[in-house]
Amino acid sequence: MRIADMMRPEGHVFLKSEWAPISDYWPAVSFTKRSVGLELGQRFVPGRDILIYVGTTSELTSDRAHRSCLLSAVVPEPNRLHETRKIIPAQSWAWSMKDNGARWPHSLAIVQAASILGPPFPSARDLAPKAYASFAEMENRGRFVEAIGGERDAVMGLEVTPLHLNLAPDVLAYLGLRASLHVDIPKSVKQESFRMATLIIDRVKRGGEVSVRTNPIRSAPNISELSALLTRLWQDRQGGDCALCGAPLHAATENSMMKASADRIDSTNGAYDESNVQITHLACNYAKNEWGLEHFEEWIAALRGVDVDKNSVAIQRAVSAGTQ
């Protein structure tokens, strides 16, 4: 794999001085000045452009094999500038505060990363001499520069190894929200997800109140994150099907029984989170909660023409086929 495979042929190649290659220790591209992060966010287009980490010449880059070399190719998510302390591991921020203070308070999250092959790592002085030299210009201190012409082409030809980064919950939530707003997702699905999220938030607020019975204590993320979660479940994990009966969900239906409903998989667990939520038809949700999953599955099997009294094996197969 080459850097060219991470971008489009007409894309921009940006370089930024960094003290180490990208890793889980610091899974973000960070800035002293907020304005620099905002500028990169405005200029960078994921899928089109690439950002290259270049090892500094200072003592901050403790591994001498990294100094003045091209180390990593990364794709930041440019639409939101985060507080660095919220999107890197706590021990990394503690190290930064102890040795450098809050020197890099602003960050863009990294959503794709690769290691440039080494050691020996490609020399920035040899491969992109003009771009590298421009780091010394006063206006480029602490900023990023662009490799153009033959230097751009040389960088794009470098071989890389893809990396998987463990992103912080704040980053994952934001990326999920961005994904839930994608233009390819039907508007009706987004509207249904928001409707379900609103109902969940209302249930959470009523948790612990005494009515005819005591409502269980419930918890959920904020409505934006919850709406994004429900959209992902609908589109990706469940493929648009009910998690209980396996039949298609319908975002725009006037049949109340077929309306989408957010169901807690474990009803004793009050959390509406990714591990405990599935989307079902409202009628399926009611039936499971009223009579239990086993009776619900027998009923579904009977609707499919399976003899529930004589063929329990067929029942299980039918239920399994319907929920996949």
The pLDDT tens digits along the chain (324 residues) read 999 999 999 999 999 999 999 999 999 999 999 999 999 999 999 889 999 999 999 888 889 999 999 999 999 988 888 899 988 998 999 988 988 888 899 999 888 899 999 889 999 999 999 999 999 998 888 899 999 999 999 999 999 999 888 877 777 766 665 555 455 677 788 788 878 888 887 777 765 554 444 455 566 666 667 887 888 889 888 889 999 998 999 988 889 999 999 999 888 888 888 889 999 999 999 999 889 888 888 888 888 877 655 445 444 545 444 444
pTM: 0.58
**One-character DSSP codes across 32-54:** SSHHHHHHHHHH--TTT-EEEEE
Cα–Cα distance measured from residue 75 to residue 80, given in angstroms and rounded to the nearest whole number? 13
Neighbours of 52 (CB within 10 A): 27
User: In the numeric block, which tokens belong to residue 32?
Assistant: 């002293």
Q: 78: which strand partners?
A: none
Q: Helix H segments across 211-258?
A: 223-232
The amino acid present at 58, given as its one-letter code, is S
Cα–Cα distance measured from residue 111 to residue 82, given in angstroms and rounded to the nearest whole number? 13
Kindly list the structural domains of the chain, giving each domain's residue range(s) and its CATH number in brackets, ordered by start: 3-167 (3.10.590), 172-291 (3.30.40)
Residue 245 neighbours by CB under 8 Å, 6+ apart: 280, 281, 284, 300, 322, 323
Instruction: Give residue 178's pLDDT.
Output: 59
120 preceded by a cis bond (ω within 30 of 0): yes
Q: What is the DSSP letter of 92?
A: H
The amino acid present at 107, given as its one-letter code, is S
Burial class (CB in 10 A: 0-12, 13-18, 19+), 24: middle
- Whether the CB-CB separation of 228 and 176 falls below 8 Å is answered with yes
Q: How many residues does the chain have?
A: 324
CA 135 from chain centre, in angstroms, equals 32
- Whether the CB-CB separation of 282 and 244 falls below 8 Å is answered with no
pLDDT in tens, 40-68: 999 999 889 999 999 999 888 889 999 99
Instruction: Give residue 101's pLDDT.
Output: 86
- Whether the CB-CB separation of 55 and 67 falls below 8 Å is answered with yes
Cα–Cα distance measured from residue 70 to residue 146, given in angstroms and rounded to the nearest whole number? 14
- Whether the CB-CB separation of 54 and 16 falls below 8 Å is answered with yes
Cα–Cα distance measured from residue 31 to residue 236, given in angstroms and rounded to the nearest whole number? 34
Cα–Cα distance measured from residue 168 to residue 127, given in angstroms and rounded to the nearest whole number? 34
Instruction: Give residue 219's pLDDT.
Output: 65
User: In the numeric block, which tokens belong to residue 71?
Assistant: 């180390």
The torsion angles phi and psi of 289, rounded to 5 degrees, stand at -70, -35
**Quick one: which of 64, 63, 80, 73 has its CA closest to 16?**
73
Cα–Cα distance measured from residue 28 to residue 84, given in angstroms and rounded to the nearest whole number? 8
Crossing angle of helices 312-323 and 293-303, in 10° steps, is 90
